Amino acid sequence: MKKFLQTVIVFALSISAVFSQTCNVNSLKTQADIDNFHVTYPGCKVINGDLNIISSSIKNLNGLLDITKVVGSIRINDNSELTSIAGLTSLEQIDGEINIENNDKLPSLHGLENLTRPMGNVRVVYNETLTSISALSGLSTIPGFLSVGQNVSLTSLTGLENLTRIEGAVSIAGNTKLVDLKGIGNLTFVGSFFYLGFNYSLKNLIGLDKLKSVGERLEITGNNSITSLSGINQLETVSVIIATYNPMLTDCAIQNVCSRIKTYNVSVHDNAPGCNSTEEISYNCSLPTAPVRINAGGGTFTTATKKVFSADQYYSGIDRISAAVSGDILNTSNDPLYQTARCSPAFSYNIPVANGEVSVYLHFAETYYGAPGKKGGAGSRQFHVNMEGVRKLTNYDIFAKAGGAMRATAETFTVNVTDGMLNIDFLTGAADLPRVSAIEVIRTGLTLQPNADAYIRDGIYNNTNYGSESNLDIKNIAGELSPKRSSYLRFQLPANTGITSAKLRVYGHNHENSKDISIHAYGVDDDSWTEYGIVRSNAPVVSTLSLGYVAVNSVYKYYEIDVSSYVKAQQQAGDAQVSFLLADPNNRNTRIVFNSKENGSFPPQLIVQTTLPVANSNTRLNQEIVTVQSEMQDSQESTVYPNPVKKQFTVGISMKHAGRISLELINESGKGYVIPVADNIRAGEKTDVDISGFSLNTGIYLLKINSDAAAEVVKVLVTE
């Protein structure tokens, strides 16, 4: 009996071992090891220790369908024939790391969709044909580091959208076809460093928008196509930002970088111009992109519409200001702005601004000649104003322009700045001294130069690069290949501003005769070409029909093509740069020569107009609400002449109005008088007003001008 019981116990233990849910596996080296796993380890679902799959013959892991957990690490390395890991579809937890390395024929990680709890590092590297890591969608936190590197066929990080936190480091490097980082768009925390290197097709940092904390450094190195650091502005904590050897990186002056320059927490070098040194970035950071407003001769002043004019700055020359005056300034509700002024025989303002087109508003009021108790009037003060060396006002007479003393008036100019400094010179004219009360500079346009340009030739020159040449050639002829030439240009688009229009300008001429030759511009979506690498045999194809054309003759000048639709579409699609092809589709057999950016003078340009900032603030003026619709509109005020007024006067309606226009006169107690006006009155026109039918006391009134598009108030003085 005793012997029988011993036999039963041994048999039971044998049965338990055979059907145990856990097993110890050292490594699987052949396809037979995989296929016979359920025989060798019957009932095994949990592997104690590590699982190593290393073989030159294993093609799939289908024999591992029952595995739900690995107590150690999984290493799937150096499997030259492996095409599928779908056999891991039941795997939910790994207590160590997962390493998938050097599997030349593995196209995806399908099979890891149920993996939610890796307890260590995640490393996916050197998988030559890997195009998708979407199977990693179950990961939300990685306790160790994440490395995705040297996967030369991988184009996106799709699959990591649920990943929000990585306790260790992140390395995304050597993925030469990776075009964006959108797959990690929800990542907020990295405990150690973040390395982004040598991803040659990566165009921007979109995908890092939610990243707030990096424990050590953020390093961006050797990414050939990145043009801007825009995308890391939400980053709050990082020890240092490093950007090196990114040959197209020109936009580093983003808020997050600018705020760290002074504390030496930024290291940059060997990028494109604009990002080659901290000195370059510091300068670009100092260029105001918001409107510049200066209270000439006065202190800081905030208008009723919440526009802030800084205390007088950026001036040079004879330093003299006029004494502040008291009394009402007509045609404005911002009297203090016009009660002070800079006034001397000669002075200048040198205002740092980004290159491009700006609107300049000069505000004036004559508070001396013709003012109460003062002599003089029209002709008593006449002076000149130059901008960027060009005469804008000659013998300007404030009194005559405003219609009298103590009246606000303004002049508006469009100026193109090319050296980062707006120069405004006030010079003595026919009488007395120059005078200005306030200056506004609003950037509305930018002049961009290409970060790459080159022409290509066909035929026997099919593999010759012309990126270093000082010219861009265009020629086309039916049949023969070698004479054919066309030119490529690429521009970086401005960050954080909407583009409303864009014009491509190239300087040159018809090199062979005086005929008009139509040169067409085409959009090129592929921006990965390089200036010193592009040749006819690898040049990207055009992505659009002709965007427009210009007739080029023998006259040396800038020739211009409107490319607005394509540039706006590229920016709206999130592309930080835009490429064009210039060509002659009509086979005119005529050589056209334009200057390249290497020429040293008259380089190619992309002139872009940008959206103006919109002010939504409201202000109450004598119980009336005035809404400012835009910076540009707010500076175009309606006018009243003469002012003071008696029974009749003329109102010049500002261009900011549209639709039906009404006028109302409001006294100091708030009582309103509706003024009849013609039904067909329009913006930009003048209308005569008759108030003889009203019983009005002498004093200050507010003329309220209402339309479908705007509301404004002009101060008027009613006399007898």
Q: Which of 511, 505, 540, 498 is nearest to 523 (CA)?
A: 540
- Could you tell me the sign of the dihedral formed by the alpha carbons of 207, 209, 215, 221, in that order? positive
Pairing of strands 93-94, 485-492: unpaired
Domains of the chain in start order, with CATH, are 55-286 (3.80.10), 292-443 (2.60.120.430), 447-610 (2.60.120.260), 618-718 (2.60.40.10)
| Contact yes or no for 130/110 (Cβ under 8 A) | no
Q: pLDDT tens digits, residue range 264-300? A: 789 999 888 778 888 778 767 766 566 889 999 999 9
488 DSSP 8-state letter: E
What pLDDT sits at residue 438?
96
Q: How many Å separate Cα 489 from the centre of its chain?
A: 19
Beta strand 485-492 with 517-524 is unpaired
**Residue 479: exposed, middle, or buried by beta-carbon count in 10 A (0-12, 13-18, 19+)?**
exposed
Residue found under tokens 């494109």: 272
Give the separation between CA 557 and CA 544, rounded to whole angstroms.
Answer: 27
The two three-digit tokens of residue 134, written as one number: 């979407």
Question: What distance in Å separates the CA atoms of residue 401 and residue 436, rounded to the nearest whole number?
Answer: 14
Lookup result for tokens 């004019």: 309
Rounded to the nearest 10 degrees, how much is the dihedral formed by the CA atoms of 52, 55, 59, 62?
A: -30
Q: Which helix (H) or strand (E) holds 365?
A: strand 356-365
The DSSP call for residue 251 is: B
Instruction: For residue 265, count other CB atoms closer than 10 A to its CB.
Output: 15
CA 579 – CA 41 distance, rounded (Å) = 60
Q: What is the DSSP letter of 468?
A: T
The H or E element that residue 16 is part of is: helix 2-18
The whole-angstrom separation of Cα 37 and Cα 92 is 19
Element (H, E) at 242: strand 240-244
Instruction: Read off the tokens for 634.
Output: 């707010």
Q: Determine which helix (DSSP H) or strand (DSSP E) holds 569, and give its type and residue range.
A: helix 564-572
* Sequential DSSP letters for 572-619: HTT-SEEEEEEE-TT-----EEEE-GGGSSS--EEEEEEPPP----EE
| R_g over Cα of the chain | 36
CA angle, corner 53, sides to 48 and 59, nearest 5? 135
Cα 516 to Cα 243: distance, rounded to the nearest angstrom = 46
Cβ neighbours around 371 below 10 Å, total: 18
**Which amino acid, residue 77?**
N
Q: Are 116 and 143 in contact (CB under 8 A)?
A: no
Helices (H), 378-516: 398-402
Mark residue 40 as left, alpha or beta (left: phi above 0; alpha: psi -120 to 50; beta: remaining): alpha
List residues bridging with 715 in a β-sheet: 702
Q: What is the pTM of this model?
A: 0.51
pLDDT reported for residue 632: 35
Here the tokens at position 441 are 């500079």
Sequence-ordered alpha helix ranges (H) in 278-423: 278-286, 335-339, 398-402
Q: Can you read off the two tokens belonging to residue 87?
A: 């056999």
Q: 3-state class of 13 per DSSP?
A: helix
Query: Closest Cα to residue 559, out of 618, 590, 605?
Result: 605
115 contact partners, CB below 8 Å, separation of at least 6: 88, 91, 92, 93, 94, 98, 135, 136, 138, 139
Q: What is the DSSP letter of 291?
A: P
Please count the other Cβ atoms lying within 10 Å of the Cβ belonging to residue 158.
Answer: 16
Which pLDDT belongs to residue 648? Answer: 86
Could you give the count of Cα atoms lying within 13 Å of 483 in the half-sphere of its Cβ? 13
Task: Measure the CA–CA gap between 278 and 280, rounded to whole angstroms.
Answer: 5
Q: Is the dihedral of CA 314, 315, 317, 318 positive or negative?
A: negative
Query: What is the predicted pLDDT for the residue at 91?
Result: 95
DSSP at 130 = -
d(CA 469, CA 598): 7
Confidence (pLDDT) at 283: 67
Q: Are 243 and 218 in contact (CB under 8 A)?
A: no
pLDDT value of residue 622: 29
The answer to whether the peptide bond before residue 603 is cis (omega within 30 degrees of 0) is: no
Coil/strand/helix, residue 323: coil
CB 73 within 8 A of CB 50: yes
Buried/exposed code over 322-340 (b: 16+ C-beta within 10 A; e: otherwise)? beebeeebbbbbbbbbbbb
Phi then psi dihedrals of residue 664, to 5 deg: -145, 135
Half-sphere exposure of 472 (CA within 13 A, CB side): 28
Low-confidence ranges of the chain (pLDDT < 70): 1-20, 283, 286-290, 495-496, 600, 611-637, 668-670, 708, 720
